[in-house]
Structure 1
Amino acid sequence: MFFCKVFYWVIVLSLFSGYQAVMAQKTTYSTEDIEKIAYADSILKVATLKKDSHQIAEAYYLLGKVELSAGNYLTSHVWFMKSLRIQEKFGDSYELGRLYIRLREKEQRQGHYDEALKHLKTAEGIFRRIKSNIGLMRVYTSIGELYADEALQEKSNQEEILRFSVDSAFFYHKKAEKLSVVLKDSIALANIRISLGKLLQFKKDPKAIAYFQQSLAEFTRFKKDNEKISAMLFLASAYLAFNQKEKVPRILAEAQKFYEEKHLHNYAWIRNLETVYMNYYKATKQWEKAFKHLENLKDLERKELLADQAGAITRLEIEYETQKKEALLKKKNEELGLTTAVMQTQKLFLFTLVALLVLTVGLGFFYFRLSRKNQQISRRNAVLIREQNHRVKNNLQSVSSLLSLQANQFSDEASKQATKNNLLRIESMAILHRELYDKEDLAIINLGDFIKEIVEVVLQTFAYEHVELAYKVTPVKLNADQALPIGLIITELVTNACKYAFPDNPEPRLTITCSKEKEELLLTIADNGSGLKNNLSAGAAKTSFGMKLIQMQVAQLRSSYNFNSSAGTTFTMKFKPDFLL
């Protein structure tokens, strides 16, 4: 009893200390695994070259199988998911269902039973839709193995749940057994008997030995090496369980010899081999040998703990080499394709160059003719514009002369004054015309110069050149549509000042300001006369033609205005210019 306790504590301490060496461990691939990896890589290379998505997915699936067999769960998951992303694009297929079964195997090995069952239910739905009995047989077998594994691993301590798992495993294995008989698949039937044997052994039923013996015979007959080893180990475990220990050494020796001769490497059954060895030596109280195999089992379990990391390193090295070769092959193909494309491009370039040369000559000649024609049109337009301006000037001058002649014929002063006012209005139009067309900027006037010229003409007409003038006009340029109303308004206001503000005024003064307020212009014209309210003619002035003309021009500008007579007469108007430069 004391020796057993010592043996137990030695095992615990060795398991704890063994974790220190795990990080340096790397996955060891068997010769068979390396051949499978090379085969999958060759498929991947050819499929990538041909852009065959189905074969690329198959290569990923094969690489995932190898990694799963070696216990590299992370790496196998990466390959399976790559394959899944491609397979799902093609819809339901046997290959897609098979892939979900492999994903179940990975999750089951890691103890993720719920996730494993989800994958199997997905696979079952796929196989039902495509009516694949082979697929359904595999799914039922896998579901049975899942329930059996959950029961055998004693994941639940509740007897009711445990019984449910065992019964469910029997149920699905029996469904799979019926399909294997219908399909006449002896290997599948042998695998199902292995699973049923494990369940019978769990239930302590000696019939398990017969199931294992039948499966072993089938695997031997069909030369299924890995399956044969597994069957032998299950049979050895059954002999131990049912107190037939004397039959175990022969089976273990045969399995060990078969392993060494065939150079097989399968993580699952190597672990089972070490487990059976340990259990046998414990049963026969050969503690030293039991401890040795326990150490071997401990190493395997340590490897399993970090298999994802270790396996990923080795697989990444292989993948890196494969990708290098693929990249080199791809580069050569690209160079060949590029050379062909360059030759075709050169031919196309020469043809295009000749066509462009002919087109350029044609376009050059066309543009030369077009340029000559445009020059002729431009010269003709210039002549027409000059002729038009000259005619406008002459017309304005003719109108002005007629009005002046008519004014001389009037005997009453009111008619003469009205004609004189019209002459000033015509003159403001003439000034606007000169501002617009006698300078480089056509259809645009400088507001400050325009105002000064109009004011000077009106003052000269009324012989008030001595009036003190004050200008505060912000540099602004307007178009003709707005300049003309402003010119007429200023003409009327200055005329009114000459008529009502400046007579009997010893120091006549006129102030004109124009400033910007955000997006508007504020125009102010002020005199220092007596104001409209003190003017005897104020009432008549407000209803005169001149005032109506001002109101019409203000409306045309869509602006607002007001008069202030507190100190002289001040006219204020706000309007929004079309453009403000």
Structure 2
Amino acid sequence: MKKIIPNFYIFIKRFGLWLLLSFVLVNGNDKNPLQHSHNLIRQNKIDSAIIFINQQISSTESQVDKAFFYVELGNAYKLKQAYNKSLEAYQTSLQILKGKQFPQEEFYVYTHLAEFYRYRRLFSKAEEYLKLCEKIKKEEKIKDVYLMKFYSRKAALFSEYKNNEDSAIVYSKKSLTLSQKLKDRESELVSLMEIANIYEGKKNHKEAIRQLHKIIVLAKQNSNIQVQCDAMVNLSRNLNRVENYKESIKVSLFGFDIAEKNKLNYNQLLFADNLQMVYGKIGDYQNAHKYLLIRLNLTEDYYHKLYDNKVLEYEEKFKAAEKQKIIDENKKLIALKEEEIKRQNLIKYFILFGLTAIIIFSMILLNYIKIIRKQNKKLSIVSEQNEFLVSETHHRINNNLQLITILIGNELKKNPNSDDISDKRIIAKIESLGILHRQLYQNEDKKSLNLNEFLQEVKKNLDFLFSENKIEVDFDIQRLTIPANSAMYIGLLVTELCVNSLKHAFQNQEIKEIKLKIHTDDGKMYFEYSNNGNAGNKITKLNLIEKLCRQLRIQYSIDTENGFKFNYEMTL
């Protein structure tokens, strides 16, 4: 009888807690303190939410209620980009629940920790917490209110980390079904957003646009400013994919205004980036320059804040390491003293002395292993810092190249005597370098990139020249990854060949064609460029092409008998 009563008490307490959380998340009664804090965060009133939550933590007597308030506090600090405080709040919540037979509530906290690390793009860490959820899920029948967020975060990880769109859409639809069943509008919005992102990944931009319009309306009705801005960023990007630049500008301007009013700095940065790029595409360089300057200022602020958070994180790790070092040294000193006492007491016994020596040797070896592990951890921290700095360098170079392109374009427009083709040749070369650094910035591997994607971007950059001169262009490029230095020279070579053909090859021709084919065979790359121009025998000396080929260390051949053909092969 003594065993039955505590178990029944735990069951009643857990069931009541589940009813409380379900009521809070589903019915949205603002009089409930937990729901009120949730609504403040949803409406982007972060500072007010933090003050209110801390008051509730101080006043509430229930430890479980405190655990849920700490989760909300972690959510608020995460949006404020105070990542150390956010992580501390989540971990405090977990410590309160640990060992108190609340596995479902632990499951709930683990999903928030997974989202915290996914939000910071630390995907492997996020996956660890989702695996802890899976472990609990095998042993417990998890309530729908908890499963809903778990499925949503699984979908996000499959989409962003593992590029498994089929699994992502399966989990997104599971989350969407549960959110609609529970009438949880916020979770419904998150699931719809994931589905829209998956359609975008599958290049079904029209369906993505339709979904995003629906999300924006629902977010506005639900007063969820953060989701509304996120959806508008994604909508602008998809409108660019279908070349509806006018609507993209309209959405970005409206979104920028909302983000600015609500101090959503990262969303402001994304809208400014899109406006600068789209204005540049339509030739409105004045507005492109305006939003480029805005974006540069926002980028500077964002990365300063991100870097400061990194510094704080490294300081905490260093302090912890120093503390552990002192503890280990004390342990070592105590151990040495103990061994000395043993040697004094057992000095007459040769065999025991030998065993003591072996123990001392083992301790020294273990100490060296600990030292090596600590050094490895420090090297890992330095490596992370270097990766961050390399990524930042590529990003800044890309920004500077874009600014140079706009400034040169504006200056060339002022010169009435300039050669239009030559001017565009200069800008095209600079933009080719900009494409290279943009792809390196976006690529996890900063030393190499996909040649097909890079050259297709170069071609897209030159499309307006081809279109103006009615030239048909066909790039047939095999997908392969090459070093960044080689890609840069190949990009400049393709740009120079195309512009050279445009300027010299075609004379009074109706059919104008340029073809580029790159394929590999048996460890070699074969480069074949041609045009059907009728001025092949009048080609000027190809000085820049000669220099680029020397940089690539290749021997090339030119055939002008029927049009113009340029070929070479290089070992990969």
Name the TM tier (shorter chain): 0.3 to 0.5
Which of 1 and 2 has greater Rg? 1
Q: Return the structure number with greater relative CO, CA threshold 8 A, min gap 6.
A: 1
With normalisation by structure 1, the TM-score equals: 0.42
What TM-score, normalized by structure 2, do the two folds share? 0.43
